[in-house]
Amino acid sequence: MILFKYLSRHSLSEWIDILYSYKNNAVGWGRKKSYFKAQAYAKKHELKILCLEDGFIRSLGLGKEGYTPLSIVVDETGIYFDVNQTSDLEKLILLNESTQQNERAQQLIQRITQLGVTKYNQRFDIVDASKFRNHKQHVLVVDQTFGDQSIKYANATEATFRQMLQQALNNHPDAIIWVKTHPDVLARKAKAHFSKEDLTHPNIKLLTENYNPIELLQKMNDVYVVSSQLGVEALLCNKKVHCFGVPWYAGWGLTNDKYAPIEIVSERRNVKRSLEHLFACAYFEYAKYVNPFTNKRCDAEDLVGLLEPNIAMQKYIPTHISAYGFSRWKKGFISDFLNFPRTQINFYSFLKPNKDSVVIAWGKKAHQLKQKGYNKVITVEDGFIRSIGLGAKLIRPHSLVFDDVGIYYDATRPSRLENLLQNREELTLEELQRARALQQMLVDLNITKYNVGLKKVLIKPNGYDKVILVVGQVEDDMSIQLGGIGIKTNLSLLQTVREKNPNSFIIYKPHPDVHAGLRVGKIAENIVLEYANNIELESSILQCFDICDELHTITSLSGFEALLRGIQVYCYGLPFYAGWGLTNDYYKSDRRTRKVNLECLVFVTLIEYAVYNIPIEKKTGIPLITPEFLIRYLQQKISTEHKSSKHFWREFLSAVISFKNR
């Protein structure tokens, strides 16, 4: 495989293995110089020519801002935007339609249009709905960057854009004609086709806002394009598309090609095709995708899943973030979690008195800011699948929550999590299935918040009415101070549980940080044994789950983890998972009036509320991952550490035996 110079400016390390599978090829990009050099080289040395281009779901940020392509197309015949010759994509479209692939396409189209997934998935401006409300018709005319290869190779010119604009005015005399510029033009990385003089008609309005293309297209009636990819996205949104060049999606009976030089492909594109078929050919068969964390091929659905939490978080977090009171250690991982395009974080030890600006702060500090009158505080805290090891030992979290309402452990006021659980619509079938699969994954792979403790098998004691696990907590922790109602100490909890269950076998498991002497809440062993039958210090919480019938807690996350494993949970405070009909509660919340099933609790808590990130040396361009990916990452890490530990002790014992035998 021969790569030419232009390709060295693309970050294609993830794609090398894929490209090497194409043997005896010279490789060039699009219709740039590298392609023509590769073409000449291939002809001279009797090699095949391979053409690469960005895929249709490319990245989080713009390519011109250095974001690596997560999708490329690899074409052995031509390239999809060059109408002068056939391409692998055109050949795929000419094949018979597949019912199975069309159904798959229909599902992903629905997901893409719901999430707003597009070619570049950076932060967008919020669409001002009032602009598009009070008028009969809205028509979008799509500009492109000056010199865009796809214009020339779609048999169009600079003049085509002015012709298109005039035709839109003629066809829709009473409509507002919105002219959309390219993201590269908005970022001042490229030049537009339309000048101010072209846009003087009173019906024309220039869109200078950087709106999400999908959200914008959904506001339109008709869409006019030369060769822009927005044309196919408009089709996905069920809009009428008028083509003035010949893009890859024209000529198949889906677009109005009356104004396009369509005769150039009329002999090749001589059949009608469904939108689902075009989508399946382009997005499933033609484009290739890579997971930047594994450097392995993935499906379009996998990439959309990876983009989903990043798209959602960019809508939630402001462009300019003031971060208050973070230690040097926390600054590092906070920056990792929020490393989005066009997002700036400024860390402060002391805040200026502007109490209306958005501020993010950790736990207690956020609470203090609210007490001082700051109105827009986002509280940051550890998430629910945190790490392998304890936070008090400064082990980096892989999961965080960002809450602009309250915080999940504060039962004295609402939180974003509580509002989601109280007000969310019923889960869709896909969401229900995902929640069940995620729950099963956590159970099957034995993943918890901290993933600590020995895998020591415990034997269930006989002769008792039931086995109860009482979980200790850090007594000065905010979750006890703000979520505990009457009982706020580990000893009070133990005493209460014993009083209510005189004939039960009670296991007391102290919090790992407390047992390690890092936090407050330790009870002397002799006092514990006045109320508990056993203190479990070595085994993990999972081994305790295996032998217990019930778990009793004030507000510990272990109650949530027990629910996932079908264990009865008794709450003596108001943790986030209490009050929804899933737990036995000693206190009620007037705000939590809805009955929630376990799948909804799992989906909202672990997928919608918490976010996930893993430290990685190379730049991926994607800060957030899915909980499913994190679980696999942690399981692999635990497995690797276990093997390394076994290998160390095997080598150590071998060395000792060897020394003794000298």
Per-residue pLDDT, 519: 87
469 within domain boundaries: no
Of 81, 18, 592, give the one whose Cα is nearest residue 288: 18
pLDDT at 656 over 50: no
User: The domain containing residue 222 runs over which residues?
Assistant: 124-280
536 within domain boundaries: no
Per-residue pLDDT, 598: 98
591 within domain boundaries: no
Identify the CATH number of the domain in which residue 154 sits: 3.40.50
Contact predicate 387/398, CB 8 Å: yes
309 within domain boundaries: no
Residue with tokens 């030992």: 393
> CA of 381: how far to CAs of 176, 344, 378, 422, in Å?
47, 20, 10, 21
Q: What are phi and psi of 14, to 5 degrees?
A: -65, -20
Interval 278-307 mean pLDDT: 96
Q: How confident is the model at residue 356 (pLDDT cuts 50, 70, 90)?
A: confident
Report the percentage of the chain scoring pLDDT > 70: 93
Q: Which long-range contacts (CB under 8 A, 24 or more apart) does 343-348 make?
A: 343/123, 343/314, 343/317, 343/319, 344/319, 344/320, 345/321, 346/320, 346/321, 346/322, 347/323, 348/322, 348/323, 348/324
pLDDT at 374 over 70: yes
Tokens of 5: 């110079």
Q: Where are the alpha helices (DSSP H) in 66-207?
A: 88-94, 99-115, 149-152, 158-171, 183-186
Per-residue pLDDT, 652: 44
Report the percentage of the chain scoring pLDDT > 90: 73
Interval 392-404 mean pLDDT: 91
Per-residue pLDDT, 325: 93
pLDDT tens figures, 167-181: 999 999 999 999 998
pLDDT at 1 over 70: no
pLDDT tens figures, 319-345: 999 999 999 999 999 999 999 998 999
Q: How confident is the model at residue 208 (pLDDT cuts 50, 70, 90)?
A: confident
Interval 418-433 mean pLDDT: 97
pLDDT at 650 over 60: no
207 within domain boundaries: yes
Per-residue pLDDT, 649: 44
Higher pLDDT, 18 or 530: 530
pLDDT at 577 over 90: yes
Higher pLDDT, 654 or 426: 426
Interval 98-115 mean pLDDT: 98
Per-residue pLDDT, 147: 83
10 Å CB burial of residue 483 (0-12, 13-18, 19+) is buried
Interval 541-546 mean pLDDT: 95
What's the pTM? 0.90
Instruction: Produce one character per residue of 617-655: b if its CB has 16 or more CB atoms within 10 Å, e if not.
Output: eeebbbbbbbbbbbbbbbbeeeeeeeeeeeeeeeeeeee
pLDDT at 258 over 80: yes
Number of domains in the chain: 1
Per-residue pLDDT, 432: 98
Per-residue pLDDT, 429: 95
Q: How confident is the model at residue 148 (pLDDT cuts 50, 70, 90)?
A: confident
- The mean predicted confidence, pLDDT, of the chain is 91
Residue 572 CA to its chain's centroid (Å): 35
pLDDT at 639 over 90: no
10 Å CB burial of residue 57 (0-12, 13-18, 19+) is buried
Q: Determine if residue 46 is left, alpha or beta; phi over 0 gives left, psi from -120 to 50 gives alpha, anything else beta.
A: left
pLDDT at 182 over 90: no
Interval 499-507 mean pLDDT: 97
Per-residue pLDDT, 259: 97
119 within domain boundaries: no
Per-residue pLDDT, 655: 46
Contact predicate 487/472, CB 8 Å: no
pLDDT at 403 over 60: yes
153 within domain boundaries: yes
pLDDT at 644 over 60: no
Q: CB 579: neighbour CB atoms within 10 A? A: 24
pLDDT at 22 over 80: no
Per-residue pLDDT, 136: 82
Of 379, 470, 451, 383, give the one whose Cα is nearest residue 416: 379
Q: How confident is the model at residue 355 (pLDDT cuts 50, 70, 90)?
A: confident
Per-residue pLDDT, 643: 58
10 Å CB burial of residue 556 (0-12, 13-18, 19+) is buried
> CA of 556: how far to CAs of 331, 470, 490, in Å?
27, 10, 11
Per-residue pLDDT, 12: 61
174 within domain boundaries: yes
